[in-house]
Amino acid sequence: MASSSDHTAKIIDGKAIAHTIRSEIAEEVRGLSEKHGKVPGLAVVIVGSRKDSQTYVNTKRKACAEVGIKSFDVGLPEEVSEADLISKVHELNSNPDVHGILVQLPLPKHINEENILGAISIDKDVDGFHPLNIGKLAMKGREPLFLPCTPKGCLELLARSGVKIKGQRAVVVGRSNIVGLPVSLLLLKADATVTTVHSHTKDPEAIIREADIVIAACGQAHMIKGNWIKPGAAVIDVGTNAVSDPSKKSGYRLVGDVDFAEASKVAGFITPVPGGVGPMTVAMLLRNTVDGAKRVFGE
């Protein structure tokens, strides 16, 4: 067998794939505008002034502008009451120009996230977190109106890279409501054999070594080592962890949950961090918004 040092995984370029998808979406939005005289609308609700949340919201706003989706930005103070936030969501539910509603998480401690997500109309739940959408995702033969953006982006990266899912062994590292859980349900729907690795799993290394597909979403910098990866496996790294790096102006750099340098000598396919899953999440949000609008326009 050739030494692993001369092998390099095929890089799954999420940035380039997301760019292609955004061009496809822009064309669709133009078509909808010509045919119906209306464009899809996305409302983004942000509570408080967390720097990271504001960065995400700006990215989403720019992406909307780029493809022709109308943005509705709702900024509320940190101390807003849960009742006021819910009434704002209800107002957006009844606004016919809004086809998608996204409430930027995390919310301040005094607000019950479940109550807010449950208040979003299922027809406008572009984040795919409404319990009815997640419930349908979990059930055989049911289709949710929307799939959560990051999990949907992960599967789209695999599909557009020609990675077969059906019958393959997939290991999802992490079980969060936002990524780990829904991505494992999506893989199951795509006929993979799915194992979830979490903080109470015994010998995660042995389980990950069996995987044809690894989705890493545990939020632990470089937890997954190169020698944990089965040769030729497809590795999708959802993690974005800041590690200190004095050579950078910011004093830190972003790394994934997988040791990229080591894993790329073994894997068949791998996503970089940043530039892998991140751009896809935004592209899928745009896709969901357009799909929501198309249902309303009778397409």
Task: State the catalytic residues.
Answer: 60, 104, 127
CB atoms within 10 A of CB 63: 20
CB 281 within 8 A of CB 183: no
Q: Which two tokens stand for residue 153?
A: 């982006």
Residue found by looking up tokens 């997301």 in the block: 18
Length of the chain: 299
Q: Which two tokens stand for residue 266?
A: 């073994």
